[in-house]
Chain A
Amino acid sequence: MHNEVPKIPFTFSSKLDIAFLTELYDNDFEQAETVFETSLEQIQSELVNAGDKFSQGDVPGLKKIIHKIKPLFGYVGLNKIITDFAAFEDVCAGANDISQTENGFKNIVKITEEALETINNELKRLKQYNTQCL
């Protein structure tokens, strides 16, 4: 017989949309860990693909990738970034050639790199929490 240590609920970082994440994951922090990990990997790999499309001057291809990555930020509580990505999608939709997306794309890369760091930090916290609770 052993005494169970009561679980202290995980609290998401204040850099993220805490209310939304709390409702989305409903105390299932193992699922949260899985989603954060998957999102991190996918955003990283799609950012590389987006860079390739930009280098090739492929505006529709770039727009598609931006559209695909966009909701992933929501699942990790970075809803503000969805708005930034939606705005850049509009820039791509209205661009006649890749040069018109250059400034916007640089900004997207910067935002995404900062976001990746935030997601990675939260993922480490989730892993640590879930390991302790096993």
Chain B
Amino acid sequence: MKFQSIIVEDLQVSADFLRRFCEKSGVVEVHAHFLNAEDALNYLKDNVVDLIFLDVEMPGASGFELLDQLMYTPQVILTTSKVEYAYDAFQYNVTDYLKKPFTYQRFLESIQKVGKKSEQQNGNSEQDHMFIKSDGKLIRLHNDDILFIESMGDYVKFITSAKKYITHNTIKNLETKVNPQVFMKVHRSYIVNFTKINDIQENTLFINGNMIPISKTHKSGVMQKINIL
């Protein structure tokens, strides 16, 4: 299987190297190269990729702003010449961080990380439960019991039909760990179990009487996911 990717990079020389390394690796296919985040976002509205090679500082929106607006979470390899972005890279849960210029060997190490993460994610897609740490205990929550997950800053609240659990985590981190066949991010503060959605009105969805906002950027993703007859 080849990883389907795009390159978002304003420096042509860097993009050319990336494209060349991808071809040489034989495991990464580059579908497009964009010189700015806005064009890449437009492409990503209609196309799904496994991997984004993403520069941080570009004309217009930054690479991190692009990640904030994505409707789903492909793997990301940040390509930048500034080490100062390493902390942000960690916060955004990116797969790897390549400091420009980099060699083919270093590129391959990144691709190996993509492969490992992909295997882990595929494993997650078959999981029907998760363990969360709450009140000093590890609690098993079945996917089917969870209605939605709400951000509370550095904490998140798991809402089930019977109880609420608060745990130290972030929505950004959870969105890569929950089963994508059941859960989806609909807003930067909410992940919902979309099998539990009762109805949708404009930019709000309802689950068991709870009103949950759908952000503009996630709206089309939500509409694609639900079964409209």
- A residues touching B (Cβ–Cβ < 8 Å)? 20, 23-24, 26, 31, 35, 38-39, 42, 64, 67-68, 70-72, 74-75, 82, 86
The answer to whether B103 touches A71 (Cβ under 8 A) is no
**Do A68 and B103 form a contact, CB below 8 Å, given A75-B17, A82-B81, A86-B82?**
no
Within 8 A of A (CB), among B1-43: 10-14, 16-17, 20
- A/B pair count, beta carbons within 8 Å: 43
The answer to whether A35 touches B103 (Cβ under 8 A) is no
The answer to whether A23 touches B103 (Cβ under 8 A) is yes
B209 at the interface (CB under 8 A from A): no
The answer to whether A68 touches B10 (Cβ under 8 A) is yes
Q: Which of A42, A71, A86 contacts B101 (CB 8 A)?
A: A71
Chain A contacts for B17, CB-based, 8 A: 35, 75
The answer to whether A67 touches B81 (Cβ under 8 A) is yes
Q: Which of B12, B59, B105 contacts A38 (CB 8 A)?
A: B12
Chain B contacts for A38, CB-based, 8 A: 12-13
The answer to whether A72 touches B10 (Cβ under 8 A) is no
A72 to B11, CA, bound (A): 9
Q: Which of the four size classes fits the interface of chain B? A: 10 to 19
The 24 listed contacts between A and B (C-beta, < 8 Å) are A23-B104, A23-B105, A24-B103, A24-B104, A35-B13, A38-B12, A39-B13, A42-B12, A42-B13, A64-B57, A67-B57, A67-B82, A68-B10, A71-B13, A71-B14, A71-B81, A71-B100, A71-B101, A72-B13, A74-B81, A74-B101, A75-B13, A75-B17, A86-B81
CB distance from B20 to the nearest CB of A (A): 8
Within 8 A of A (CB), among B54-93: 57, 59, 81-82
Q: Which of B20, B82, B101, B104 contacts A75 (CB 8 A)?
A: B101
CB distance from B24 to the nearest CB of A (A): 9
